């Protein structure tokens, strides 16, 4: 029997909430997406004041991080030396932008988060914070 670990909708909402609270404190707005281990959406928030393009980009960042099991930005850096576009990986949702981070529990991808609409440094920091928060809660 093969067992997998996946984020629950409660986990996804907690990840969104930790990011939302910080963004509100900083008077910023973003789109925040949390996916399951396959990259499919579990929960999403478009904050008041967030522009429209970040909506799809946040979902794509979560998809990429979950499917690849690594930061979406790492895939982007790798694509600079790859002789083909990211779309050749098999899905138009792959992206190499900063802000997507996988949640790894017991060596398995349990899901991912994608944040879009603010600066790259903040997206990376907040996605890492959400992942760390949820990983600490995971059973050992």
Q: Which domain holds residue 56?
A: 9-137
Q: What is the CATH number of the domain that holds 130?
A: 3.30.450.150
Which pTM does this prediction carry? 0.93
CA distances from 18 to 46, 87, 129 (A): 14, 32, 8
**15 and 133 Cβ atoms separated by less than 8 Å:** yes
| CA–CA separation, 61 and 33 (whole Å) | 8
Task: Determine how β-strand 41-46 pairs with β-strand 100-105.
Answer: unpaired
**∠140-127-71 over CA atoms, to 5°?**
85
Q: pLDDT by residue (tens digit) across 83-133?
A: 667 777 778 899 989 999 999 999 999 999 999 999 999 999 999 999 999
Domain count of the chain? 1
């Amino acid at each position: 029997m093969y067992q997998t670990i996946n984020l629950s909708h409660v986990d996804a909402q907690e990840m969104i909430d930790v990011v939302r609270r910080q963004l509100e404190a900083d008077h910023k707005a973003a789109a925040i997406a949390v996916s399951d281990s396959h990259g499919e959406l579990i929960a999403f928030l478009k904050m008041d004041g967030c522009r429209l393009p970040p909506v799809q980009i946040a979902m794509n960042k979560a998809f990429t991080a979950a499917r690849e099991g690594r930061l979406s930005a790492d895939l982007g850096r790798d694509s600079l030396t790859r002789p083909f576009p990211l779309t050749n990986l098999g899905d138009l949702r792959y992206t190499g932008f900063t802000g997507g981070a996988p949640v790894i529990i017991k060596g398995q991808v349990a899901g991912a988060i994608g944040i879009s609409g603010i600066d790259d440094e903040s997206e990376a920091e907040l996605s890492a914070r959400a992942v760390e928060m949820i990983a600490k809660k995971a059973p050992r």
